[in-house]
Amino acid sequence: MSFTIFGICAFTYRKVSIMKKAQIFAMYYQRYAILKLVPISLILPSLKDKHLSVMQQKIQIQVPPIIAFNEQLLKEEVKQFLNVKDETLFVKPLRRSIDARNRNIKVNLTLNVFVDEPLVTDEIHFDYKDVSKSKTTCHIVGAGPAGLFAALRCLELNIKPIIIERGKNVKDRRRDLAAINKDHIVNPESNYCFGEGGAGTYSDGKLYTRSSKRGSIEKILNTFVYHGASSEILVDAHPHIGTNKLPQLIENIRETILKFGGEIHFNSKMVDLKIENGAIKEICVEAENGKAEFSIQSLILATGHSARDIYELFDSKKILIEAKPFAMGVRVEHPQELIDSVQYHCNSANEVNEKRDYLPAASYSLVNQIGAYSVYSFCMCPGGIIAPCATGPEQVVTNGWSPSKRNNPYANSGIVIGLTLNDFKPFSKHGELAGLEFQKELEKSAWLAGGKTQTAPAQRLQDFVNGKLSSSLPDCSYVPGLKSVDMMSVLGNLIGKNLQLGFKEFGKKMRNYLTNDALIVGVESRTSTPVRIPRDNQTLQHPHINNLFPCGEGAGYAGGIVSAAMDGERCADKVLELNNKP
């Protein structure tokens, strides 16, 4: 039997490439003890490939968390897995995900292992060109993920990017965020949504996306690492940077754009555009020192999902836009310890603490169909904070974010219902802006209920489901403060009743989820844009304006940092194609 196995291995070895030789040998070496009696040098004497030798191989293992997150213990586990003892060993994690479906929690790891040879690391490099004298320019309105990555891609394509950003640079934004939280003052041009880095800068930094067909996720993540993010985001199945780390990364991206000849104009708001012969000839920008006009070759419009003035401008100029379905609801907050206990199958607080020594703050994802409507969790923030995200007067808007360590005592998530175009009929007189007007009405309702400040209306979760006004509210991460109200009166029957039913179902799926130790805070209304700016599927140009490229979340083509960044790159590529046309 053993000779047969050895013969098969040797025959297979002669017939395949060097890379396959290493993989086949590792497989047989693990499976059959007989091979472990044979010196490696006799079986693979000529395996000298500098990129992959038998002593460098990719393996997949499943280990307890205490081993997965301890470098030395992991090395010992890999040595045992490979049956090597005294050799020098380096382990490079390639992929990591947590399997917490039962009490015996495991971590799935894909590793690159180096035995008796140095650890090989891949240097990240981008071919950014000096575009200061380039005759090809591209104006980019908005400095969020779509706009910034469009600009970086322009540098690679020898196109000079000129960014027009209504808000302030990332550091100066902080004063305006403090004013919202402490003084309830909303600066309509500088807030959690507007300013350098866009909404993502100060609202979490989640990098998970399912949009793998829209571009290279790996390239986007490598770009973040190149500009200072931890290389851990290349490994984790659900990568996350953290609001505390993102501002410095955004500054570094800005420095790259400026270093290679791009331009960035802060405190500059596009207020008008001039169209001639089916193309934008120039845009009018309102800046601190007055109005200015910019001549346009190509324009990437990446203004984000809260730039209502852009939709209204387009509507007034009869530029084609479309109403789009989106979701609204509330933000729910639980004690993080409760979510950890449920997700990590703990029976006591001590067990939670023990598991949290080597496991991250737990998250969750919930969805349930209630009749024609889907109720689901959105932007779940373990160890996070609920933030005030209004962008103008008479609004209360919530969102969530987590620091990089996700070590705050609360877990929050948007719980929203997917709305359809039919739900906008009461606002039909506003045409394609009907959904936007619905959004405005809900945010104003929350503002009125909270007392016409940034104080948010809130209710204990079980009380909301039971239709009972909360006599008191638990501690909450929302800094501007809360007011106990009947949230049904804020949300209305369509959203409120579906949320009640959804929460009941979530309580069946996740023990202790439906509790008065949790509360809901209103309203979660900026999940995505209520308006789409249409574009051609191939050229990505607006169907009526051939040098306008609607881009990212604000145009309805992305839903998060990574998908917006990929869309920005795609639009930059199409700008090059347009300029290369004869």
Give the CATH number, domain containing residue 61: 3.30.1660
Report pLDDT for 403. Answer: 87
Straight-line distance from the first to the last Cα atom of the chain, in angstroms, rounded to the nearest whole number: 70
Q: Which has the higher per-residue pLDDT, 19 or 209?
A: 209
Mean pLDDT of 125-140: 97
Q: Which pair of structure tokens corresponds to residue 93? A: 């994690």
128 within a domain of the structure (yes/no): no
Q: How far apart are CA 175 and CA 109, in angstroms?
A: 42
Residue 548 has pLDDT above 90, yes or no: yes
Mean pLDDT of 270-292: 96
Report pLDDT for 13. Answer: 43
Which amino acid appears at position 209 of this protein? T
374 shares its domain with 445: yes
Identify the band that residue 203 occupies on the pLDDT scale cut at 50, 70 and 90. Answer: low
132 within a domain of the structure (yes/no): no
Report pLDDT for 47. Answer: 40
Q: How far apart are CA 376 and CA 443, in angstroms?
A: 20
What is the bridge-based pairing of β-strands 456-460 and 299-301?
unpaired
Is residue 155 classed exposed, middle or buried when 0-12, 13-18 and 19+ CB atoms within 10 A define those classes? buried
464 shares its domain with 539: no
Q: Which has the higher per-residue pLDDT, 464 or 35?
A: 464
Report pLDDT for 233. Answer: 93
363 shares its domain with 506: yes
334 within a domain of the structure (yes/no): yes
493 shares its domain with 406: yes
Average per-residue pLDDT in the chain?
90
519 neighbors 461 (Cβ within 8 angstroms): yes
Mean pLDDT of 74-79: 94
Mean pLDDT of 331-339: 98
Residue 438 has pLDDT above 60, yes or no: yes
**Tens digit of pLDDT for each residue in 158-190?**
999 999 999 999 999 999 999 999 999 999 999
90 shares its domain with 36: no
**Tens digit of pLDDT for each residue in 108-122?**
999 999 988 888 888
Residue 27 has pLDDT above 60, yes or no: no
Query: Domain count of the chain?
Result: 4
Residue 210 has pLDDT above 80, yes or no: no
Contacts of 464 (CB under 8 A, 6+ apart): 487, 488, 499, 500, 503, 520
**Tens digit of pLDDT for each residue in 360-385?**
999 999 999 999 999 999 999 999 99
Residue 15 has pLDDT above 50, yes or no: no
442 shares its domain with 465: yes
Report pLDDT for 575. Answer: 98
542 within a domain of the structure (yes/no): yes
- Domain end point (choices 74, 89, 121): 121
48 shares its domain with 64: no
Mean pLDDT of 250-276: 98
130 within a domain of the structure (yes/no): no
Q: How far apart are CA 200 and CA 156, in angstroms?
A: 24
129 within a domain of the structure (yes/no): no
Report pLDDT for 86. Answer: 72
Identify the band that residue 84 occupies on the pLDDT scale cut at 50, 70 and 90. Answer: confident
Identify the band that residue 444 occupies on the pLDDT scale cut at 50, 70 and 90. Answer: very high
Q: Which has the higher per-residue pLDDT, 564 or 25?
A: 564
Report pLDDT for 486. Answer: 98
Nearest alpha-carbon partner for 126 in 95, 147, 151: 151
- Domain end point (choices 505, 524, 543): 524
296 shares its domain with 343: no
Which amino acid appears at position 580 of this protein? N
Report pLDDT for 10. Answer: 43
126 within a domain of the structure (yes/no): no
Q: How far apart are CA 547 and CA 280, in angstroms?
A: 7
Report pLDDT for 242. Answer: 82
181 neighbors 479 (Cβ within 8 angstroms): yes
* Domain boundaries, position 16: 1-52
Report pLDDT for 141. Answer: 98
316 shares its domain with 341: no
Identify the band that residue 204 occupies on the pLDDT scale cut at 50, 70 and 90. Answer: low
As a whole-number percent, the residues of the chain with pLDDT over 70 amount to: 90
Q: Which of 9-13, 144-148, 322-326, 458-462 has the lowest mean pLDDT?
A: 9-13
314 shares its domain with 289: yes
Mean pLDDT of 548-573: 96
pTM for the full predicted model: 0.89
569 within a domain of the structure (yes/no): yes
Q: Is 76 helix (H, G, I), strand (E, B) or coil?
A: helix
367 shares its domain with 349: yes
382 shares its domain with 258: no
Report pLDDT for 56. Answer: 84
Q: Which pair of structure tokens corresponds to residue 330? A: 């509330």
Mean pLDDT of 40-53: 42
